[in-house]
């Protein structure tokens, strides 16, 4: 029965995790598609050349390939940055998706629900829960701290060392679950700048080839445009890597705090269900009865 309960809990957690990841990916795609203006384009009013001069220049020089890179929206930037902008965009979607997934999965109300923990420990202190009911109640909740409680409840009445060992084993499994997907952020921190650097290198090669194969002595805008295209890849790679590294540190610290809290709750549970804890509470209750009787006699 215990194995069936564990299987049901794992299946429920897996389906819930994939649903959260799918929703987060959908939100990331919507965010990427709806990205608004990034850098406002300049016109002739802010200190640029007069419109008549710009019109004459447009007649004399074909600026379709040598003008400034349009940066009015994200799609224009991706088109001008080259083919490596698409893997970088995919990395950004993955990063946003896993940020949403970890923010949802590492909530305290999901890892160690305060209401469940308080009610569960109080029922154990009052003696209204036995081993079977405690395991069943933990299986119904399915949160990481309930998995630790369930592993300890299976050792109900055993020596304190055995109960602590069960909690340590279950805590290690719960810790692996909390740290899941954190390496994705480390991978994005490394892959993003590398892809950006590769795009920069390819863009510089393209720019210098354009200068070498054309009469570019009087047209420095050709070289400037190629360099600008190349640097777009570097900028996009850093835009991916910096938030990914920041979120990695944030989630690591959050996991550490949750682990400390689960360890403290597990120790409280050990003192309640271990053989030593049960014996101590029974002796304490027997010793308190004569004191209560003497108090009532004194009051009478």
Q: Domain locations in the chain? A: 2-284
**pLDDT given for residue 36 in this prediction:** 42
Among residues 86, 98, 90, 84, the alpha carbon closest in space to that of 184 is found at 98
The DSSP secondary-structure symbol of 68 reads P
- Segment 133-146, tens digit of pLDDT: 988 888 888 889 99
Copy the structure tokens of residue 120.
């569960």
**pLDDT given for residue 207 in this prediction:** 76
**pLDDT given for residue 130 in this prediction:** 83
Looking up tokens 């290690």 gives 172
- Segment 145-169, tens digit of pLDDT: 999 999 988 888 888 888 889 899 9
Mean pLDDT of all residues in the chain?
A: 75
- Rounded to whole angstroms, how far apart are CA atoms 139 and 113? 14
The DSSP secondary-structure symbol of 71 reads -
- Rounded to whole angstroms, how far apart are CA atoms 262 and 151? 13
Are the C-beta atoms of 7 and 44 separated by less than 8 Å? no
**pLDDT given for residue 216 in this prediction:** 54
Select the more confidently predicted residue: 17 or 179: 179
- Rounded to whole angstroms, how far apart are CA atoms 203 and 211? 12
The CB-based long-range contact list for 75-82 (8 Å cut-off, 24+ gap) reads 77/38, 77/232, 77/236, 80/229, 80/232, 81/199, 81/203, 81/229, 81/232, 81/233, 81/236, 82/199, 82/202, 82/203, 82/229, 82/232, 82/233
- Segment 38-81, tens digit of pLDDT: 333 333 334 444 444 444 444 444 434 444 555 556 677 777 77
Predicted model pTM: 0.69
Q: Please state, as a whole number, how many other Cβ atoms lie within 10 Å of the Cβ of residue 60.
A: 7
Residue 62 region by backbone torsions, left for phi larger than 0, else alpha for psi between -120 and 50, else beta:
beta
- Rounded to whole angstroms, how far apart are CA atoms 198 and 243? 20
């Amino acid at each position: 029965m215990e194995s069936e309960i564990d299987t049901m809990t794992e299946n429920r957690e897996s389906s819930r995790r994939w649903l959260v990841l799918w929703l987060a990916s959908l939100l990331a795609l919507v965010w990427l598609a709806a990205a608004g203006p990034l850098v406002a384009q300049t016109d002739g009013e802010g200190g640029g050349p007069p419109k008549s001069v710009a019109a004459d220049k447009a007649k004399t020089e074909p600026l379709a390939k040598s003008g400034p890179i349009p940066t009015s929206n994200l799609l224009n930037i991706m088109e001008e940055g080259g083919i490596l902008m698409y893997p970088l965009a995919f990395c950004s979607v993955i990063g946003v998706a896993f940020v949403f997934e970890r923010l949802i999965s590492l909530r305290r109300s999901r890892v160690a629900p305060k209401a469940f923990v308080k009610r569960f420990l109080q029922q154990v202190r009052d003696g209204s829960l036995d081993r079977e009911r405690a395991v069943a109640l933990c299986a119904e909740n399915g949160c990481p701290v309930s998995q630790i409680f369930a592993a300890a409840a299976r050792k109900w009445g055993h020596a304190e060392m055995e109960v602590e060992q069960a909690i340590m084993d279950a805590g290690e499994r719960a810790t692996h679950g909390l740290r899941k997907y954190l390496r994705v952020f480390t991978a994005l921190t490394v892959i993003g700048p590398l892809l950006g650097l590769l795009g920069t290198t390819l863009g510089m090669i393209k720019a210098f080839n354009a200068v070498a194969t054309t009469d570019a002595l009087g047209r420095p805008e050709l070289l400037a445009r190629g360099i600008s295209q190349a640097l777009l890849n570097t900028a996009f790679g850093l835009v991916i890597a910096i938030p990914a590294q920041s979120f990695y540190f944030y989630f690591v610290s959050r996991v550490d705090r949750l682990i400390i809290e689960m360890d403290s709750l597990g120790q409280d549970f050990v003192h309640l269900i271990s053989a030593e804890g049960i014996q101590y509470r029974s002796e304490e209750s027997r010793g308190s009865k004569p004191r209560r009787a003497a108090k009532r006699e004194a009051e009478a």
